[in-house]
């Protein structure tokens, strides 16, 4: 049994009272050495007798159950006590209401997510060897699921790879990172060189690491926004790189492009579109860089119309089409998709055999799910009405908050209103390089469906 004062120190002295207390109850029990209230840890929590290196954070029963079920987050409102000196970004042990050791994680004092647990192994030391091991696990996994092709993929997907708050995408020799955790920000000088080391041990040369930290979520962690090269590792001057995905070449602007520069999560979904597009008249909505449209064209589509509200995106899609020799049967339109679908419906006719809907996330919080559902329903309803009997609809949502059951319910409602039925061909998710950790629902975000409209 170990006795801890609220100052986080083990005290070998006896208690002044004659009874033991559970952790974080505060009767008059005091330490004779320092006179601070004493915390008594029993049974499985004997780990605290040996782990005096980090402060201890106690949590509610609800948080305990969540952690035991595999979710690594402790919310600020779930913290019931803090023992020892806690600083922003430090490591801390997490204990149950009865003092059981639940894990060790990184603290974010300004975030609603107060602790991100890294490991529930009480023997873990969190040295550079720990981080190298986590990175190597992530890289080895990608080697398997990407069939040995690491040229363009997500190398690290935060919580799903046991490195919460870190995203790392690989575009050829360039690694583009995004950090959304204060603790990882403090550790990046350890982690980034290890990413390079692990990759080069696998024969993958790293030309540079570029940070895309220009996201508002960082403010919630008390971190500044910004973007630029990680200067501790040599890097080129150019902030664009050429990649090849599914046999199609793109120039990725990782300085100014959306997210880290390219949507790697749809790689295999785009390949499915190519497999179905032969001989069809295809409308690709929210085309961005033209990736779905280009895959359809490469797959032998009779014609492809690519639409986006951004003229910059339309110009980029057109440039990519020309580069790949696919522009002859492609049309590029700068328009609001909602308005365009309405205009096409008013004109009547069935001008397309396949419509692809790949919109940006319509909701990034639970508060706006209802309005997002209305937006998704509107575009899907209009697309269903435009398609002929036997036409194909590919539709998706990249919002975690728009769950698969809710998205499917919306699709059923849209089909009913459009007086059509949907034959489901495929229900897919993000690529395997964006793994879904079942105990962390936030890692499951992309829904992708292909239907035949009858």
Tokens representing 428? 């897919």
**What's the pLDDT tens digit per position in 303-319?**
999 999 999 999 999 99
CATH T-level topology, domain 2-119: 2.30.130
31 pLDDT band, cuts 50/70/90, is very low
pLDDT digits (tens, 9 = 90+) for 407-423: 999 999 999 999 999 99
Catalytic residues: 398
Question: Who's near 347: CB < 8 A, 6+ residues apart?
Answer: none
Structure tokens at 350: 């069935």
Please give the radius of gyration of the chain, using alpha carbons only, rounded to the nearest integer.
26
The SS3 call for residue 203 is coil
- The whole-number pLDDT of residue 52 equals 61
Confidence of residue 29 (pLDDT cuts 50, 70, 90): very low
Q: What are residue 387's phi and psi, to 5 degrees?
A: -80, 145
**What share of the chain in percent tops pLDDT 90?**
84
Structure tokens at 296: 């359809």
Cα 361 to Cα 136, 220, 293: the distances in Å are: 31, 20, 19
Q: Find the mean pLDDT for residues 252-271.
A: 95
List, by residue range, all CATH 3.30.750.80 domains of the chain. 128-238
| CA nearest neighbour of 277 among 299, 293, 292 | 299
| Element of type H or E holding 82 | strand 79-83
Q: Which CATH class is domain 263-453?
A: alpha beta
Start-end of CATH 2.30.130.10 domains in the chain: 2-119
Query: What's the whole-number mean pLDDT along residues 66-77?
Result: 98
**Given this structure, which CATH class describes domain 128-238?**
alpha beta
């Amino acid at each position: 049994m170990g006795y801890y004062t609220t100052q986080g120190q083990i005290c070998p002295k006896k208690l002044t009272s004659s009874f033991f207390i559970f952790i974080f109850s505060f009767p008059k029990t005091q330490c004779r050495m320092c006179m601070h209230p004493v915390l008594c840890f029993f049974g499985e929590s004997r780990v605290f007798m040996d782990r005096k290196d980090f402060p201890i954070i106690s949590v509610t029963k609800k948080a305990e159950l969540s952690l035991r079920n595999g979710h690594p987050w402790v919310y600020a409102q779930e913290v019931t006590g803090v023992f020892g000196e806690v600083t922003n970004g430090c490591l801390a042990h997490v204990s149950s209401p009865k003092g059981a050791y639940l894990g060790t994680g990184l603290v974010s004092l300004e975030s609603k997510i107060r602790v991100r647990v890294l490991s529930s192994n009480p023997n873990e030391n969190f040295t550079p060897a720990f981080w190298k091991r986590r990175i190597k696990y992530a890289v080895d996994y990608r080697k398997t699921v990407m069939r040995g092709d690491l040229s363009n993929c997500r190398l690290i997907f935060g919580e799903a790879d046991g490195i919460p708050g870190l995203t790392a995408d690989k575009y050829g020799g360039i690694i583009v990172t995004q950090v959304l955790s204060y603790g990882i920000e403090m550790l990046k000088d350890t982690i980034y060189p290890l990413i390079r080391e692990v990759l080069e041990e696998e024969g993958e040369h790293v030309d540079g690491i570029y940070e895309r930290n220009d996201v508002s979520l960082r403010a919630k962690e008390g971190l500044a926004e910004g973007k630029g090269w990680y200067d501790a590792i040599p890097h080129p001057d150019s902030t664009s790189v050429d990649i090849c995905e599914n046999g199609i070449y793109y120039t990725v602007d990782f300085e100014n492009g959306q997210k880290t520069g390219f949507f790697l999560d749809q790689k295999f979904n785009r390949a499915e579109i190519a497999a179905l597009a032969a001989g069809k008249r295809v409308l690709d909505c929210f085309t961005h860089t033209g990736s779905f449209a280009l895959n359809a064209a490469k797959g032998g589509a009779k014609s492809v119309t690519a639409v986006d509200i951004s003229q910059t995106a339309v110009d980029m899609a057109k440039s990519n089409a020309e580069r790949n020799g696919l522009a002859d049967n492609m049309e590029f339109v700068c328009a609001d998709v909602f308005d365009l679908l309405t205009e096409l419906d008013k004109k009547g006719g069935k001008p397309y055999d396949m419509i692809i809907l790949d919109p940006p996330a319509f909701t990034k919080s639970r508060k706006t799910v209802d309005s997002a559902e209305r937006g998704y329903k509107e575009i899907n309803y209009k697309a269903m009405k435009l398609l002929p009997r036997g036409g194909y609809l590919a539709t998706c949502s990249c919002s975690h908050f728009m769950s698969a059951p809710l998205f499917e319910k919306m699709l059923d409602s849209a089909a009913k209103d459009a007086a059509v039925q949907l034959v489901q061909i495929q229900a897919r998710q993000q690529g395997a390089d964006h793994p879904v950790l079942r105990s962390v629902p936030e890692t499951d975000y992309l829904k992708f469906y292909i239907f035949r409209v009858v």
